[in-house]
Chains A and B, each alone.
Chain A
Amino acid sequence: MQFQLDVNGERHALDLDTRTSLLDALRDHLGLTGSKKGCDHGQCGACTVMVNGRRINSCLTLACMHEGDEITTIEGLGRPDDLSPLQRAFVEHDGYQCGYCTPGQICSATAMIEEIKAGWPSNVTDDLEAQVEASIEEISERMSGNLCRCSCYPGIVDAIRQVAREEARA
């Protein structure tokens, strides 16, 4: 099937099997291997990308359904010599070890910070009316869809808190 995908601000023409997931399209057909496949079943979060600003598991959606959507992957957030604030904070706080879950964590966190800013409550939010704080508990809860077997959760939370605080101040 022929369709177009807009990824990181660039338009790509593709001709793919309708069964191709968005994740496989990115990894195997567009050379954007930053998005990782940990389970292919929506169970680990390694494949998290942003579609129109929202975080999704790209293994759980078909590529051909996303014509016209604005897709952002880890490659679109920063480059090794020009990292995003979250990417830098992950390095500083060692919020990763093997690095395999990391692009998913960072895409997820990037969108998650916006969710907090927009006042979306979570399972651990006590007061649904109040402005949500980027507390340790809120971050941990909201990041629990991104597994890390290296178990870098403390560093991940520290990195996200630092950036969320900086952004709140800005």
Chain B
Amino acid sequence: MTLETTRRLKHDTPDTDRRLDGMAQGVLGTGMDRPEGPLKVSGRATYAAEAHPEAMAEGYLVRATTIGRITGSNADAIRAMPGVIEVIEDERMIRNAAQGMAGESPVQRQGQVWYVGQPVACVVAESFEQARHAAQAMMVTIEPDGTHVFDAEDPAAEVEKPEQKQLDQGDLEGAMSAATFSLDATYHTPSMSSAAMEPHASIAQWDEDGVLTLRGSYQLLKFNKAELADVLGVAPDKVRILSPYVGGGFGSKLGLAPEAVAAALAAQALGRPVRVVLHRRQVFETVTRRSETRQRIRLACDAEGKLSAIGHENLVSQLPGEVFSEPVAQGTHFQYAAPNRVIGHEIARIRRPAAGSVRAPGEAVGVTAFEIAIDELAKKAGIDPLEFRLRNVPDKHPENGKPFSSSTMEATLREGAKRFGWTHTPPRQRREGEWWIGTGMAGAVRVNMMIEAMARAVLTGQGVRVECDMTDIGTGSYAILTQVAAEMLGFAPDRVETVLGDTDLPPASGSGGSFGAASTSTAVYLACMELRERLAAKLGVKEPELTLKDGLAIHENRQTPLAEILGEEEWRALGHLQPGKAGQEVRQATWGAIFAEVAVSDVTGETRVRRMDGTFAAGRILNLKTARSQCHGGMTWGIGLALTEAMEHDPRDGHMVNRDLAEYHLPVNLDVPQLGVHFLEERDDWANPLQAKGIGELSVCGSGAAVINAIENACGVRVRRLPATLDQVMDGLIAQG
């Protein structure tokens, strides 16, 4: 048995050692290619649905078409259809995906349909075609259970106003009436979908010891394992989840989804492996969406543009029985200074499919609306919107006075403006043929979080293996964890093997909330630090005096190959990060600035984004290439939020009308220019020993506002109900005369 020791860190204080700056391998922070790249581009990386265990049966979910009590079905007739093996109508099936980090079962079927589109049965057949056909022929009888509300703004909606989510500081009303300039405007953002390209899929297989192996597509495996065990009523050690490759998540794969439960139940009932893949339309309906929001924003400032009051009162929607609600004002609490502040949060319980976390929950829509409002007030005050923001940079948390772990808002604004060549001009000045041309900008901000994470590093004379249940949902986990280990233990990256996505490995953070890279990298760092200590002890030197590079231990002018030190041995170490006071004593956040140039057709109202630049500060950047790609992603999501994406719900029953990729409009290649991304070099000692923060969501939080503000600058039309569809812009253009 090889000795495995653990290095723990309870993260209470800033880490000013910055040990990574003293490492010698020189791979961390570079734009190293993803190690799994060749597998992905050659079609050899295998995703959830892509295994084929012997005797696998195919399951297909059946959708409820109305709300009420389930009283029966034609399951017997369905069982008689060609190829059908069984119809699963188990009460343990879940009505929608679990919320992120729930760790327990979401609401289960229990004879009840809560929303149109809820999965109510699973038909299992020998082939996919047979299962699909039979599922479509299945009819579930549902007795209506009263009248329901489908729109958060319907006066009949039951609205909750949780005490702890309200804030009233100073005198907002007084400041509004005393102000030189003020704004009181209401913004709407639509119901939206993550729409990851890989639909959820699960292959479930039970062994003779009652252990379930589920090959799925999930982001937070340790939580998903607990959720699945809870749903099934088995001990967590009876569940293993494998997600080596995840075809995008964006929040939709944070929580266990209905296909996993259906596959597990079916496989148990049948005693053979079962695969259930969600149809694209089922992904839209059964996996949590981003809530639509109504945001009333009140702002007041003096003649110089100094803010005196901020009000941000929001209404979101959610299905009964769900704890999460879109934290719209998460960024508003600290983005701008102002003494008088009101924050309101209301949740309407309605019967649209469940809402949940979608990339940058809170700030994606909250900062976007707020940054439009700031632009509006700057205009009223006759001040360059860049300058207006610079005058309101907070020097500490405006509500509780805590310091910022690092404050880069001003620096990103200035650097971004310089790179873009920002000059402020009045609206309706530039015209090219039918096109109005204009520019807009916005600030970006996102809270930074760490969560508990463990990882193992296994050192041999030839290289390192990193192991944990972390996922790579496109974010670059394989790359950065490889780089951290390579840097810390002095090996070329091709001597590092990173194994992820298996709950039999140490529980890492998983991917979500932009906490994955920093949390799990810290765990890997700790494991590697443990191994460095052991190497130093063996060589009789102090660890900080030890240089590791290219497989050599260098100390006191001597070079010893690790192969010589370790011989045939394998040294194992666990790193264990526990978040501590460092997360509470300061406000940790990432900051950015986005600039956009758009063209708006005076004939059709169509907006084309011509140019978009983002400048971001998120601590140490672990991989330049993957970090940049994350920002490309977020900025493109901003374009979608501003221009094309909206889930339409039928006002009569709340169902998703445009639940496919033809009608729910993701930005396509031609909608996105060659985006500019720039990082400000930064070390945030409060964040973790790597001084690194999350980068996966920041760029979503404000990009949409830059586009909307640019539309106003181009053609004078101010859009407050996103997305800026052609009809809205056209109405505005006509109103301008």
Partner of A44, one of B249, B661, B669: B661
Min C-beta distance of B676 to chain A, whole Å: 9
The CB with the most chain A CB atoms within 10 A, among B31, B50, B195, B675, is that of B50
**Is A164 among interface residues, defined by CB-CB distance under 8 A?**
no
Check A140–B670 contact: CB distance below 8 A. yes
**Is B143 among interface residues, defined by CB-CB distance under 8 A?**
no
* Residues of the A chain whose Cβ atoms lie less than 8 Å from the Cβ of B626: 94, 97
* Residues of the B chain whose Cβ atoms lie less than 8 Å from the Cβ of A44: 197, 280, 661
**Is B68 among interface residues, defined by CB-CB distance under 8 A?**
no
Check B672–A98 contact: CB distance below 8 A. no
Check B129–A17 contact: CB distance below 8 A. yes
- For B242-253 the 0/1 string (1 means CB < 8 A from A) is 000111111000
- For B38-58 the 0/1 string (1 means CB < 8 A from A) is 111111111101101000000
Min C-beta distance of B201 to chain A, whole Å: 9
**Is A35 among interface residues, defined by CB-CB distance under 8 A?**
yes
Check B44–A34 contact: CB distance below 8 A. yes
Given the interface pairs A90-B41, A91-B37, A100-B198, the reply to whether A36 lies near B629 with Cβ below 8 Å is no
* Residues of the A chain whose Cβ atoms lie less than 8 Å from the Cβ of B351: none
**Is A134 among interface residues, defined by CB-CB distance under 8 A?**
no
- For A71-103 the 0/1 string (1 means CB < 8 A from B) is 001110111110100011011101011111111
* Residues of the B chain whose Cβ atoms lie less than 8 Å from the Cβ of A81: 38
**Is A163 among interface residues, defined by CB-CB distance under 8 A?**
no
- For A140-170 the 0/1 string (1 means CB < 8 A from B) is 1101111111111111111000000000000
- Give CA–CA (A20, B132) in the complex, Å: 11
Give B612's nearest chain A residue, CB to CB: A154
Min C-beta distance of B603 to chain A, whole Å: 17
Check A151–B633 contact: CB distance below 8 A. yes
Min C-beta distance of A116 to chain B, whole Å: 15
Partner of B248, one of A17, A94, A98, A139: A98
* Residues of the B chain whose Cβ atoms lie less than 8 Å from the Cβ of A153: 632, 636, 667, 669, 672
**Which parts of B445-499 form the interface with A (CB within 8 Å)?**
473-476
Check A140–B476 contact: CB distance below 8 A. no
Given the interface pairs A147-B666, A154-B632, the reply to whether A94 lies near B34 with Cβ below 8 Å is yes
Check A98–B198 contact: CB distance below 8 A. yes
Check B42–A41 contact: CB distance below 8 A. no
Check B668–A147 contact: CB distance below 8 A. yes
* Residues of the B chain whose Cβ atoms lie less than 8 Å from the Cβ of A77: 42
* Residues of the B chain whose Cβ atoms lie less than 8 Å from the Cβ of A144: 668-671
**Is B389 among interface residues, defined by CB-CB distance under 8 A?**
no
- For B127-144 the 0/1 string (1 means CB < 8 A from A) is 111100100000000000
Check A28–B41 contact: CB distance below 8 A. no
* Residues of the A chain whose Cβ atoms lie less than 8 Å from the Cβ of B475: 97
Question: How large, as a class, is the contact surface on chain A?
Answer: 35 or more
Check B50–A80 contact: CB distance below 8 A. no
The CB with the most chain A CB atoms within 10 A, among B49, B246, B668, is that of B668
**Which parts of A96-152 form the interface with B (CB within 8 Å)?**
96-103, 106, 124, 136-137, 139-141, 143-152
Check B669–A140 contact: CB distance below 8 A. yes
Give A24's nearest chain B residue, CB to CB: B128
Give B668's nearest chain A residue, CB to CB: A144
Give B629's nearest chain A residue, CB to CB: A94
Partner of A149, one of B127, B250, B669: B250
- Give CA–CA (A149, B253) in the complex, Å: 14
Check B632–A100 contact: CB distance below 8 A. no
- Give CA–CA (A7, B54) in the complex, Å: 24
Partner of A19, one of B129, B637, B672, B675: B129
* Residues of the A chain whose Cβ atoms lie less than 8 Å from the Cβ of B46: 33
Counted as pairs of residues, one from A and one from B, with CB atoms less than 8 Å apart, the total is 195
Check A91–B41 contact: CB distance below 8 A. yes
Given the interface pairs A24-B128, A152-B629, the reply to whether A36 lies near B247 with Cβ below 8 Å is yes
Partner of A150, one of B38, B629, B635: B629
**Is A40 among interface residues, defined by CB-CB distance under 8 A?**
yes
The CB with the most chain A CB atoms within 10 A, among B46, B197, B675, is that of B197
Check A31–B52 contact: CB distance below 8 A. yes
Check A152–B632 contact: CB distance below 8 A. yes
Min C-beta distance of A120 to chain B, whole Å: 17
- For A13-31 the 0/1 string (1 means CB < 8 A from B) is 0000101100010011001
**Is A55 among interface residues, defined by CB-CB distance under 8 A?**
no
Check A97–B662 contact: CB distance below 8 A. no
Question: How large, as a class, is the contact surface on chain B?
Answer: 35 or more
The CB with the most chain A CB atoms within 10 A, among B40, B50, B129, B199, is that of B40
* Residues of the B chain whose Cβ atoms lie less than 8 Å from the Cβ of A139: 669
* Residues of the A chain whose Cβ atoms lie less than 8 Å from the Cβ of B249: 98
* Residues of the A chain whose Cβ atoms lie less than 8 Å from the Cβ of B634: 151
**Is A38 among interface residues, defined by CB-CB distance under 8 A?**
yes
Partner of A102, one of B41, B661, B667: B41
**Is B19 among interface residues, defined by CB-CB distance under 8 A?**
no
Check A148–B197 contact: CB distance below 8 A. yes
Give B696's nearest chain A residue, CB to CB: A97
Given the interface pairs A17-B129, A149-B248, the reply to whether A38 lies near B42 with Cβ below 8 Å is no
* Residues of the B chain whose Cβ atoms lie less than 8 Å from the Cβ of A24: 128-129
Given the interface pairs A24-B128, A149-B197, the reply to whether A156 lies near B41 with Cβ below 8 Å is no
The CB with the most chain B CB atoms within 10 A, among A75, A79, A87, A150, is that of A150
**Is A46 among interface residues, defined by CB-CB distance under 8 A?**
yes
Check A43–B660 contact: CB distance below 8 A. yes
* Residues of the B chain whose Cβ atoms lie less than 8 Å from the Cβ of A83: 38, 41-42
**Is B380 among interface residues, defined by CB-CB distance under 8 A?**
no
**Is A65 among interface residues, defined by CB-CB distance under 8 A?**
no
Partner of B40, one of A73, A75, A96, A143: A96
Check A73–B43 contact: CB distance below 8 A. yes
Min C-beta distance of A30 to chain B, whole Å: 11
Give A98's nearest chain B residue, CB to CB: B474
Give B672's nearest chain A residue, CB to CB: A153
* Residues of the A chain whose Cβ atoms lie less than 8 Å from the Cβ of B194: 149
Check A96–B41 contact: CB distance below 8 A. yes
Partner of A147, one of B127, B128, B197: B197
**Is B625 among interface residues, defined by CB-CB distance under 8 A?**
yes
**Is B16 among interface residues, defined by CB-CB distance under 8 A?**
no
Partner of A101, one of B44, B52, B197: B197
Min C-beta distance of B89 to chain A, whole Å: 25
**Which parts of B112-170 form the interface with A (CB within 8 Å)?**
127-130, 133
- Give CA–CA (A156, B675) in the complex, Å: 12
- Give CA–CA (A99, B476) in the complex, Å: 11
**Is B18 among interface residues, defined by CB-CB distance under 8 A?**
no
Check A136–B247 contact: CB distance below 8 A. no
Check B42–A34 contact: CB distance below 8 A. yes
Partner of A91, one of B34, B49, B129, B199: B34
Min C-beta distance of A97 to chain B, whole Å: 3
Check A43–B662 contact: CB distance below 8 A. yes
- Give CA–CA (A46, B635) in the complex, Å: 22
* Residues of the B chain whose Cβ atoms lie less than 8 Å from the Cβ of A34: 42-44
**Is B674 among interface residues, defined by CB-CB distance under 8 A?**
yes
**Which parts of B628-650 form the interface with A (CB within 8 Å)?**
628-630, 632-637
- Give CA–CA (A90, B199) in the complex, Å: 23
Check B50–A33 contact: CB distance below 8 A. yes
**Is B196 among interface residues, defined by CB-CB distance under 8 A?**
yes
Given the interface pairs A36-B247, A41-B280, A149-B196, the reply to whether A87 lies near B41 with Cβ below 8 Å is yes
Given the interface pairs A39-B280, A74-B42, the reply to whether A154 lies near B668 with Cβ below 8 Å is no
**Is B33 among interface residues, defined by CB-CB distance under 8 A?**
yes
6 contacts between A and B (CB under 8 A): A33-B49, A37-B49, A83-B38, A96-B41, A97-B629, A98-B246
User: 9 tightest A-B contacts by CB?
Assistant: A34-B43, A100-B247, A98-B474, A97-B474, A99-B40, A151-B636, A74-B43, A43-B661, A80-B38
Known contacts A87-B38, A96-B474, A140-B669, then 19 further A-B pairs from the complex at CB < 8 Å, ordered by chain A residue: A17-B127, A17-B130, A24-B129, A31-B52, A33-B50, A39-B660, A41-B661, A46-B197, A91-B41, A94-B626, A97-B248, A103-B41, A124-B670, A144-B669, A149-B196, A154-B675, A155-B629, A156-B669, A157-B674
